[in-house]
A and B are shown apart, each in its own frame.
Chain A
Amino acid sequence: MSPHAHIAGVFEHPGRTLPDHTVAQIHAEVAAGALADAGLTFADVDGFFCAGDAPGFGGLSMAEYLGLNCRYIDSTETGGSSYLVHVQHAAEAIAAGRCSVALITLAGKPRTGGAGPGASARSDAPESDFENLFGLNIINGYALAAQRHMYEFGTTSAQLAEIKVAASTHAQHNPNAFLPTMVTIDEVLESPVIADPLHRLDACVITDGGGALVVVSPEIAASLDRHTIPVLGTGVGIKHTSGGRIDLTHTGAVISGPAAFAEAGVSPTDIDYVSIYDSFTITVLMTIEDLGFCPKGQGGGFVSDGALQSPNGILPFNTDGGGLCNNHPANRGGMTKVVEAVRQLRGEAHPAVQVPDCKLALAHGTGGSLATRMGSATLILGRDD
């Protein structure tokens, strides 16, 4: 048994529209699902992790709702990447003996109302009046990054469309996918331009739902029947506008990626499968560059010709259909990135998209706004057999 913390249970809520659930209920359902997947119960949990999507007062409200008895709590908020940061923090807490069964939950209902994404949208942010007077919305911010990337590196809309095509190719095999229909490059390019250069089909879906992870100590992992997944390396990188010297073509992955690879003692060429945060197609392209899967600026060429399609592409990605087609619960895609990476390492992805003998996977989360004010988090996950 390796000395690492292990992901012992994962769960993705099958719902994509949940008008009859409260956000707290969804947290409870995904928690129950992940614990059952691990072969554990609520009574086994001694550490709880949640982010701004959790209703109430940090983790306190949800710990009470769920009936947890915790000796460790963490509500680190980095937007959609929070849950990967939580895996890092859980692994550290487990190594320090602070807890042995860590539960991480995410839930939200951006599709049918109810609670919004939470703490990330606070209006007292000191930067808000310098960005909110100009008709900016989420996709505009990503369009600004895409436009600059195209200017500096010659990236094209057709290359971005390849990313959506790959996700849709995978989503057709996922019965829970919000958009299960394959699309072509032309269909992406013919969808309405929302904000130059991004089209409607460059954007992720908006779905209700949630997910949960259970991270356990090596000793607990050894006691379970389940195929548990060692956390081999983690990295976190915070990037912001740097006192007004914003750089729109790099992400925090330039910090989080090398840290995770170094801890795991592996390099990008060793990775069999990647879950890459995909709020928009440009998010994927810039992240792949920044993680070192290709030189900076060459992401457009790299993702072409089916490179991201499983099982035959050179870098199979987001085999559940990702946020672009499957699910982006609570407008936060980090949780589902970890869930699908674990499915791949367990050999439990859909057979049509399962990477043969998947031994090493990378999951990457992007929180905040791409290249603007963001928290990046990278996990390297493996197998013990």
Chain B
Amino acid sequence: MPTESNLPTNAAYPTLDSEPFWDALNDDRLHLPRCTACAYVIWYPRHHCPNCGAGRDQIEWFDASGRGAVYSYTVVRRNRGSWGEILPYIVAYVELDEGPRIMTNIVECDPESVTIGQAVEAVFHSVPEARQREHGATGVLRFRPSA
């Protein structure tokens, strides 16, 4: 079960391209599309391979490990709105073991302790109840330092 996020996350709107990804987050799974023609793991989720041009019939979905390393990060110290009320927080790109570099937050750690190259693992959050929307996704993918 995802844990409710204490970050002011809005709900995403799944599309026909991204629905499998969002649905799997509810089961604590990082579900990604992969091209059966060239084996490319695709981010962000879509039914088209940007590496070789293969179409929707050649896209399969699989559960990724949820493990990766910080590719880059920033400690956000000033912002407006609801994110400005929970400073400082970390925005980062995590490079998954499967290849893609994806935007996320690093959580469950001292923001000052994050470094590039640090090993991280997926954390499955649910969108705060007050921010859930009709037809909106209920999950959001974040990462925390791993042992």
Contacts and interface: CB of A to CB of B under 8 A. Distances in A.
Contact of B99 (A129, A130, A144, A244): A244
Nearest to B14: A129
Contacts of B104: 134
Contacts of A182: none
A148 B99 CA distance: 17
Interface residues of A, number: 32
Given A193-B77, A195-B76, A244-B99, A126 B46 contact: yes
B43 A137 contact: no
A242 B40 CA distance: 11
Interface centre among B7, B75, B89, B99 (most CB of A within 10 A): B75
Nearest to B140: A133
B44 interface: yes
A244 B77 contact: no
Contacts of A134: 9, 91, 103-105
B119 to A, nearest CB: 16
Contacts of A144: 72-74, 91-93
Nearest to A148: B72
A129 B75 CA distance: 21
A254 to B, nearest CB: 19
A151 interface: yes
Contacts of B105: 134-135
Contacts of A148: 71-72, 116
B77 A194 contact: yes
Nearest to B22: A129
B91 A244 contact: no
Given A135-B91, A148-B71, A246 B77 contact: no
A137 B82 CA distance: 13
A140 B91 CA distance: 7
Interface in A132-183: 132-137, 140, 143-145, 147-148, 151
Nearest to A136: B91
Interface of B, helix, strand, loop or mixed by DSSP: loop
B50 A242 contact: yes
Interface string B86-97: 000101110000
Among B10, B42, B92, B93, the one with the most A-chain Cβ atoms within 10 Å of its Cβ is: B93
B40 A243 contact: yes
Contact of A244 (B13, B44, B76): B44
Nearest to B49: A243
B132 interface: no
Nearest to B104: A134
B15 interface: yes
A344 B101 CA distance: 42
B24 interface: no
B28 to A, nearest CB: 17
A194 B78 contact: yes
B78 A243 contact: no
A246 B103 CA distance: 10
Interface in B11-59: 12-13, 15, 17-18, 40-46, 49-51
A134 B79 CA distance: 12
B83 A135 contact: yes
A20 B142 CA distance: 45
B72 A147 contact: yes
Contacts of A196: 74-75, 77
B10 A140 contact: no
B102 A140 contact: no
Nearest to A146: B74
Interface string B102-115: 11110000000000
A193 B93 CA distance: 20
Contacts of B101: 241, 244-246
A151 B75 contact: no
A384 interface: no
B41 A244 contact: yes
A244 B46 CA distance: 11
Given A130-B102, A133-B12, A147 B140 contact: no
A144 B105 CA distance: 12
14 contacts: A126-B17, A136-B103, A140-B76, A144-B73, A144-B93, A145-B72, A147-B72, A196-B77, A244-B42, A244-B101, A244-B102, A246-B93, A246-B101, A248-B72
Given A130-B18, A244-B100, A245-B100, 19 more contacts: A126-B17, A126-B44, A131-B103, A134-B103, A135-B91, A144-B74, A144-B92, A144-B93, A193-B75, A195-B75, A195-B78, A196-B77, A242-B50, A243-B40, A244-B99, A245-B99, A245-B101, A246-B71, A248-B93
